[in-house]
Copies of this chain bind each other. A is one copy, B any other.
């Protein structure tokens, strides 16, 4: 026993281990497992007790079972630790919680890595389902997913033939504009993403379009100097927000394409001793958990719910392949707090 645990070094026991312990050949062990009636009782019992002692399970069993059902759901996501992604993951984890499925996270940090995953995940096929967050997938890859029958749900993206959870980004921009106008602000700015990250979805532009549209419907326009598009990076948010605040004619209200950017504006405002919302009003987009703490007025896009729904859709389809695909649009709503 002691000797054995040393030779096994943390591996699972194999029939070789059982054979050694019971002093027979591996064939005999195999026979005990498969055709026990062909083995003399005495030998068989010796083998069986060795099996017990080692807590042996034929690896093939596990694998054979696994062929029907891996009990694994994968999530392919960029910016794995950014708050908005975490909240979606939280929703997914919650939906998977009481099920048999494990949650595997594939964190994507480059286009290469994304393509690597998309090449191998469907083929190696050790997943029952896949959730892809905020990642645009080209046809070649989505075809693969279908060909290999890997059930997939998209969040913040969609593709014919797949279920998806999305929001109406343009509508969000319109909502922001309407809200700010109705609150009485008269000049408007926008802080959004420059969107140079080619491999991930960037809804900032659509939000900007909606914002512009909403403003113009109300008779306002959005001058180019009041539009600040920046690469997504925490450090520079505050600086960039500053440029908007330091404009000769400071805008009365700023719509940020994300809460993190809105919070950056708040910080920049504080550094300049500007009062929010009196000197400058700020509205964000996301409604992160922290936004409540910040008293940030924002647009709730139900991040948690998006994850939970995606997982539920996935599980439903896995359980019953004939269930139709669904393309869900989550509602957006203004959460009025104290920054606008």
Instruction: Spell out A's residues near B (CB within 8 Å).
Output: 8-10, 12, 32-34, 36-37, 44, 48, 51-52, 55-67, 70, 80-81, 83, 86-87, 89-90, 93, 97, 102-107, 109, 112-113, 115-116, 119-120, 123-126, 144, 147-151, 234, 260, 263-264, 266-267, 270, 289-290, 292-295, 321
CA distance A308 to B100 in the complex (A): 28
CB distance from A45 to the nearest CB of B (A): 9
**28 interchain pairs, CB-CB under 8 A:** A9-B321, A10-B150, A10-B151, A36-B115, A36-B116, A37-B112, A48-B119, A52-B147, A55-B123, A57-B123, A57-B125, A59-B65, A60-B61, A60-B65, A60-B70, A61-B63, A61-B67, A62-B64, A80-B89, A86-B86, A93-B105, A93-B107, A102-B104, A105-B105, A264-B293, A266-B293, A267-B293, A290-B290
**Could you tell me if B263 and A33 are in contact, using CB atoms closer than 8 angstroms?**
no
CA distance A39 to B266 in the complex (A): 47
Closest B-chain residue to A51, C-beta based? B123
CA distance A126 to B11 in the complex (A): 10
Inter-chain contacts of A107 with B (CB < 8 A)? 93, 97, 103
**Could you tell me if A60 and B125 are in contact, using CB atoms closer than 8 angstroms?**
yes
**Could you tell me if B97 and A109 are in contact, using CB atoms closer than 8 angstroms?**
yes
Inter-chain contacts of A264 with B (CB < 8 A)? 293
Number of copies of this protein chain within its complex: 2
Inter-chain contacts of A56 with B (CB < 8 A)? 123
Inter-chain contacts of A105 with B (CB < 8 A)? 93, 103-105
**Could you tell me if A147 and B55 are in contact, using CB atoms closer than 8 angstroms?**
yes
Inter-chain contacts of A67 with B (CB < 8 A)? 60-61
Closest B-chain residue to A266, C-beta based? B293
**Could you tell me if A321 and B10 are in contact, using CB atoms closer than 8 angstroms?**
yes
**Could you tell me if B104 and A57 are in contact, using CB atoms closer than 8 angstroms?**
no
Q: Which 6 A-B pairs have the closest CB atoms?
A: A10-B149, A61-B63, A81-B90, A36-B116, A63-B64, A93-B107
CB distance from A4 to the nearest CB of B (A): 12
Given A10-B149, A61-B64, A63-B61, A33–B270 Cβ distance below 8 Å? no
CA distance A108 to B120 in the complex (A): 30
Inter-chain contacts of A289 with B (CB < 8 A)? 81, 234
CB distance from A161 to the nearest CB of B (A): 14
Inter-chain contacts of A12 with B (CB < 8 A)? 125
**Could you tell me if B36 and A120 are in contact, using CB atoms closer than 8 angstroms?**
yes
**Could you tell me if B125 and A36 are in contact, using CB atoms closer than 8 angstroms?**
no
CB distance from A21 to the nearest CB of B (A): 15
CB distance from A304 to the nearest CB of B (A): 9
CA distance A105 to B263 in the complex (A): 30
CA distance A289 to B84 in the complex (A): 13
CA distance A95 to B104 in the complex (A): 16
**Could you tell me if A116 and B52 are in contact, using CB atoms closer than 8 angstroms?**
no
CA distance A121 to B240 in the complex (A): 48
Residue of B36, B62, B102, B119 near A36 (CB, 8 A) is B119
